[in-house]
């Protein structure tokens, strides 16, 4: 299995390290020629969604990435990656997202909770995190909530989290994604 990681900006290296610990080959997407390599899945990391979106368009990655997801490429978006997946951006997930929903950097926090399909006590690290304000179709399913806000969802072979599983030692979320990508 080979997983592509968008490496334009943000917390991509942490995903790479997590997947390497699981014995998974990864490569970084920085330009169009990187994207053209064979891949079994894609990770859209946290970071600054506005910057990532601008770079996706400038580097002519937006259309091929969007098309691959529409054709079923397994994708995992965390924090800013969740924003990119939303209807207002790449539009590959039927979600409406509230950006910076928990406030500025000082509003960052860590908790644990259940995630459908993964288990209980899943660590969740929120850093200037969004949450899902609305799920726009029955095809998209909420899989985790915190304080009555949807913080993770799954639609087909796409999963999104408002939090950063790559910043904790728990590998269950990445294993979950890899199971989807098989």
Prediction pTM value: 0.96
What is the pLDDT, as a whole number, of residue 156? 97
DSSP one-letter string for 80-121? HHHHHHSTTTT--S-EEEETTTT-SGGG-EEEEEEETTTEEE
What is the pLDDT, as a whole number, of residue 108? 87
pLDDT along the chain (182 residues), means of 10: 96 96 98 97 96 97 98 97 97 95 74 97 94 97 97 98 96 97 95
Positions marked catalytic? 79, 164, 166
Residue 112 has phi, psi (to 5 degrees) of -130, 155
What is the pLDDT, as a whole number, of residue 102? 76
- Is residue 29 within 8 A of residue 75, CB to CB? The reply is no
- Is residue 83 within 8 A of residue 98, CB to CB? The reply is no
């Amino acid at each position: 299995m080979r997983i592509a990681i968008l490496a334009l900006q943000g917390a991509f290296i942490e995903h790479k390290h997590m997947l390497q610990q699981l014995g998974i080959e990864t490569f970084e997407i920085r330009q169009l020629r990187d994207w053209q390599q064979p891949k079994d899945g894609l990770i859209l990391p946290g970071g600054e969604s506005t910057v990532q979106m601008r770079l996706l368009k400038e580097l002519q990655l937006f259309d091929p990435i969007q098309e691959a997801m529409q054709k079923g490429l397994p994708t995992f978006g965390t924090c800013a990656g969740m924003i990119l997946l939303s209807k207002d951006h790449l539009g590959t997930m039927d979600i409406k997202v509230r950006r910076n929903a928990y406030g500025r950097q000082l509003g960052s926090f860590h908790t644990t909770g259940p995630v459908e399909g993964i288990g209980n006590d899943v660590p969740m690290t929120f850093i200037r995190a969004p949450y899902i304000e609305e799920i726009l179709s029955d095809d998209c399913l909420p899989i985790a909530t915190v304080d009555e806000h949807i913080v993770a969802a799954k639609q087909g072979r796409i999963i999104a989290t408002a939090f950063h599983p790559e910043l904790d030692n728990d590998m269950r979320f990445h294993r979950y994604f890899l199971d989807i990508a098989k």
